[in-house]
Amino acid sequence: MSTIDIGGVEVERVVEWVGPLMAVDTLFPDTPGDEWNDDLAPDHWVPDSRAYRAAIQTWVLRSQGRVILIDTGVGNDRDRPQIPPLSHLNTDFLGQLAAVGVQPGDVDVVVNTHIHYDHVGWNTRLADGRWEPTFPNATYVVPQADYEYYHPDNAHRMRAPRTEDERARFEGIRLVFADSIAPVYETGQMTTHEGGYRIDARLRIEPAPGHTPGSSVVWLDAPDGGAVFVGDLVHTPLQIGRPGDCCALDLDADGARASRRAVLAEAGRRGSTLLPAHFAGRGAARLGMTDSDPVIEEWADLPRI
Ligand SMILES: [Zn+2]
């Protein structure tokens, strides 16, 4: 089964890419090296190379008669100097989407949890040498704070890069804005939100800033605990027990820690299913509470990748 039902909302995942990305000791500088243990292998890290193993995936929801996508991966044909392994990808993402019964014209809402290259790519596709919206009937919902932060007109306001790696990423984000954000703005399909956005009676977007200024999560409210789609608030299962551990890509580390603590505590109290953007393996897990700490109760019934 590739579909899970959460409070009457059908949830499926479409995987664009999975594999080892970079060294865990670089990506998670707050996490002691010996925290990476056998329980996390082989799904979430590769012990021999000490590489973080990530999936890049889109959550596909059917709620109240509409199709909603949460995050849209890297996309094909992109120039991505900031991440050479994912530059000029050529995947069958749209075929995978069709395999779960979704054609581009069927999509009603696209949520970008934040504006990073691996969350906005399939917003657009290349057609006759131009970037056009992949989903012609969709409203694209984007955080206003990220739209402003990454808009090329405001580039002078971004803080100076601290490392060479960061310099490449800051350069790369200009390309991301041009090929994945500007084209959906230009067709009038984009709407931005500040302080939250309601998708329907069950689904609402809430700000969870830190990873980027506008990073957001999507709550699915349901009596059985529902779910929360957290984007890049959580990159590895280790952060559920260690919410103070940042990813090196978190722009505002203290803000990311505060958002992660708050969302995980709420999800643990409710017994919500946590659906991050990058968990490989079963991709999602229902949380609970032990003492006052959120813990994984049960992995989702999704195919293990
Ligand atoms: Zn990401």
Distance CA 137, CA 236 (A): 34
Q: Which of the two residues, 291 and 296, has the higher pLDDT score?
A: 296
Confidence at residue 161, expressed as pLDDT on a 0 to 100 scale: 86
pLDDT digit string (tens) for 12-54?
999 999 999 999 999 999 999 999 999 999 999 999 999 999 9
Q: Which of the two residues, 143 and 162, has the higher pLDDT score?
A: 143
Mind listing the domains of the chain with CATH numbers? 3-299 (3.60.15.10)
Gyration radius of the chain's alpha carbons: 18
Q: What mean pLDDT, rounded, does the chain reach?
A: 95
Distance 64 CA to ligand 1 centre (A): 28
Is a pLDDT exceeding 90 seen at residue 137?
A: yes
Q: What is the mean pLDDT of residues 295-303?
A: 97
Q: What is the mean pLDDT of residues 84-89?
A: 92
Distance 291 CA to ligand 1 centre (A): 30
Is a pLDDT exceeding 60 seen at residue 11?
A: yes
Q: Which of 274, 280, 239 is nearest to 260 (CA)?
A: 239
Q: Which of the two residues, 217 and 161, has the higher pLDDT score?
A: 217
Confidence at residue 173, expressed as pLDDT on a 0 to 100 scale: 85
- Reading phi first (left if > 0) and then psi (alpha if -120 to 50, else beta), residue 129 is in left
Pairing of strands 293-299, 273-276: unpaired
- Name, in order, each residue with C-beta under 8 angstroms of 184's C-beta and a sequence gap of 6 or more: 123, 124, 133, 140, 190
Sign of the C-alpha dihedral computed for residues 60, 96, 86 and 240 taken in this order: positive
Distance 272 CA to ligand 1 centre (A): 21
Distance 228 CA to ligand 1 centre (A): 16
- Name, in order, each residue with C-beta under 8 angstroms of 265's C-beta and a sequence gap of 6 or more: 294
Is a pLDDT exceeding 90 seen at residue 83?
A: no
Distance 34 CA to ligand 1 centre (A): 24
- Name, in order, each residue with C-beta under 8 angstroms of 128's C-beta and a sequence gap of 6 or more: none
Distance 71 CA to ligand 1 centre (A): 9
272: confidence class by pLDDT, cuts 50, 70, 90: very high
Is a pLDDT exceeding 80 seen at residue 82?
A: yes
Is residue 224 within 8 Å of 175, Cβ to Cβ? no
Distance 156 CA to ligand 1 centre (A): 24
Confidence at residue 165, expressed as pLDDT on a 0 to 100 scale: 81
Confidence at residue 292, expressed as pLDDT on a 0 to 100 scale: 87
Is a pLDDT exceeding 90 seen at residue 2?
A: no
Percent over 70 (pLDDT), the chain: 100
Distance 117 CA to ligand 1 centre (A): 8
Q: Which of the two residues, 31 and 166, has the higher pLDDT score?
A: 31
Distance 98 CA to ligand 1 centre (A): 23
Q: Using alpha carbons only, what angle is made at residue 231 by residues 43 and 293, rounded to the nearest 5 degrees?
A: 75
Distance 116 CA to ligand 1 centre (A): 7
Confidence at residue 225, expressed as pLDDT on a 0 to 100 scale: 97
Distance 73 CA to ligand 1 centre (A): 8
- Taking CA atoms, 305 is separated from 14, 57, 233, 239, 280, in Å, by 11, 11, 21, 20, 6
